[in-house]
Structure 1
């Protein structure tokens, strides 16, 4: 029992030690490394280290057959977001955050970190001799995580980007778009006026219903147009996503794969160089996290009750529900018979809110300090919740195998 507990806690202790180093280096009283350096390191992680790691490990593991076998990984991300959305609504109803932060509360409960943090956890876990996953532990783990990362990015920069619109601006945009695309028309008028009265003839009722349908269609088109125009499509095709797409293409074509990967491959020197960069991802991302924690929580208007509600929903309740989802999927024979595959699915429910949400908040100018403070407290609590659930997941995987 003691060995099992240690095998679950030690990987997190390794990550914690890296985080503490980053915290010490960035602490205001010491500040051996300035904040700007951590920002630069964060950009290197995002633009270089993480894409290299994804391309190498996913490219080596993926095949056309695997693409069809791994279909449940992106589906699981969507399921976790749907459950997170429901939990976010419950948090709103129970904790009653300020009206301007209702959508923010739902978003922060809904979207977890499905990229760099799970990879960092796997990187630490696979270095342990007592890990459950055997040979090529990290390569398979990174491949599974990377396979579904595009789903999270697309959702964040479409639906979440739209939901993170400041409430006042949102209604102004819809109103402006209504004037721009339908101002003065009958359809636009029907968006603002009652369409059916109690004392009309049958033919007038039919006409009114048809007009109301047209008005609803116009309103839907206008909203879709707003989302399309306001969605930063270029942000969807970020370096990690491009690396993932390239890895899937290279891995799916045997002739190309043999040209890129393998000891005797003509481009082996390139992949070796990329692999060196990729190995810097795990320590770098934990140093960046330590630098973020060193800054401390910003002033937040979200409220202590709502903050606790989001943390409990995201880091305690959602992982329990995730165990049920993954166990049910396994009983229905929807999963690949690989302990690492199931572990990654479980991990998608246990991580704190995506750091990417903080970037979206800054882009939108909405709840910037609140997102920073919430991410701070979530990552503090996650050090304990992840240790607990990694132990639970290890016991569960032993039972399932």
Structure 2
């Protein structure tokens, strides 16, 4: 197959993303001001709580079955490997570049989390429809490609909102803990000084210590019992506090996208529920169709938000250029070749079935740019927003070249 046809088939989906992203940047201009700061914040929340969970649940319910899960077991493992290798490379980048503490979670997230959702959902069906595609009939390719992309999006959402979300949360708190602790400690000293006189002696001159009268310093029995009761109550409150923190961590893990992924798996895998909700003759198809209708707004909404956030990157920030270069090297130069070797190794040992489209998706998971929802996470915690915009500006600007070249090469391997 001609390499030019493969290059055209790989470039069209990337151009679609760039067009929608450019529209988002245009709407965020000051003289247009349709997607200003408040609009982006509200749109982020709608996408986080409504659009993206609906997209994950509806696509999984329609395309994932128990039989397909047995064939696609390596795909979640492959995503885990991308996060694992990306995290190790991100840790090395942090050790070399030494960014501020509140930006380290952002660096970890950009190196570990690829755009497993909207990017694959857009690219795979568009590649299937191109006449230069090596993946056979467009309808069959689109059906299976949607299944692979939906599973990638669901698993990627679980990893993103459980791993990257909490990494950014922890490092965003570390950036302010030192200041808060020093302030609280310094405020305690003056309060103790003001409560007493610094000129008075701590011990009275008339007080003498008698070695042979140690019982004078022993506490009454009632006092000891009261102290024991207080210590028990303090320990009980500490246990309740620890339990409350564990519950809060569990709530943060079960984000809307994670819950939607679990629901989509449940509907798709259980035959009785699937027959009642999926299909033209299903009695409860209105629920699935409503979720699909909401999910259709996820990709344009998230892509427009990304374009609006990229505009902030044009204003610049204090982030060092070496940090941006390091993230780009990790995502576009180091990870894709490692992905090729891992897929080749897995195919050699019979860990995955030799479907060209399936292997194309697995390789592409190592070459996608950082996840767009990292920008949403930074906005939720109010830390590193401008730095994230600069990173995404450069990462997605270069993705138009990198992703096109890697996609062409991956299709050539599949052909």
Normalising by the smaller structure, the TM-score range is 0.7 to 0.9
Name the residue aligned to 1:79: 81
> Which of residues 35, 41, 44 is equivalent to 1:42?
44
Structure 2 residue 149 is the aligned partner of structure 1 residue 142? yes
Name the residue aligned to 2:199: none
Q: Which sits farther off after the overlay, 319-328 or 257-266?
A: 319-328
TM-score by length of 1: 0.75
Structure 2 residue 262 is the aligned partner of structure 1 residue 260? no
The answer as to whether partners of 2:168 and 2:378 remain within 8 angstroms in 1 is no
In the TM superposition, 1:1-400 aligns within 5 A as: 1-97=3-99, 101=103, 104-133=106-135, 134=137, 135=140, 136-149=143-156, 150-159=158-167, 161-166=169-174, 169=177, 232-297=249-314, 299-364=316-381, 366-398=383-415
| Cα deviations by residue, 1:341-364 (Å, 9 ceiling, x for unpaired) | 323322221222233334444555
Residue 257 (structure 1) shift: 0.7
The answer as to whether partners of 2:57 and 2:263 remain within 8 angstroms in 1 is yes
Equivalent pairs counted in the alignment come to 349
- For residues 70 and 147 of structure 1, what CA distance do their matches in structure 2 show? 13
Residue 260 (structure 1) shift: 0.7
Question: Which ranges in structure 1 are unaligned for 5 or more consecutive residues?
Answer: 177-221
Residue 369 (structure 1) shift: 3.1
- For residues 158 and 41 of structure 1, what CA distance do their matches in structure 2 show? 22
Residue 243 (structure 1) shift: 1.9
User: CA 1:146–1:100 in 2, change beyond 3 Å: closer, same or farther?
Assistant: closer
TM-score by length of 2: 0.73
Residue 128 (structure 1) shift: 3.5
| Cα deviations by residue, 1:246-281 (Å, 9 ceiling, x for unpaired) | 111111111111111111110123323332333333
- For residues 263 and 321 of structure 2, what CA distance do their matches in structure 1 show? 44
Residue 374 (structure 1) shift: 1.8
User: CA 1:236–1:89 in 2, change beyond 3 Å: closer, same or farther?
Assistant: closer
| Cα deviations by residue, 1:212-248 (Å, 9 ceiling, x for unpaired) | xxxxxxxxxx9xx799659643233223222211111
| Cα deviations by residue, 1:321-380 (Å, 9 ceiling, x for unpaired) | 112112211222212343333233222212222333344445555444323322232222
- For residues 356 and 172 of structure 2, what CA distance do their matches in structure 1 show? 36
CA RMSD of aligned residues (A): 3.2
User: CA 1:16–1:239 in 2, change beyond 3 Å: closer, same or farther?
Assistant: same
- For residues 39 and 61 of structure 1, what CA distance do their matches in structure 2 show? 32
Structure of larger gyration radius: 2
Question: Which ranges in structure 2 are unaligned for 5 or more consecutive residues?
Answer: 185-238
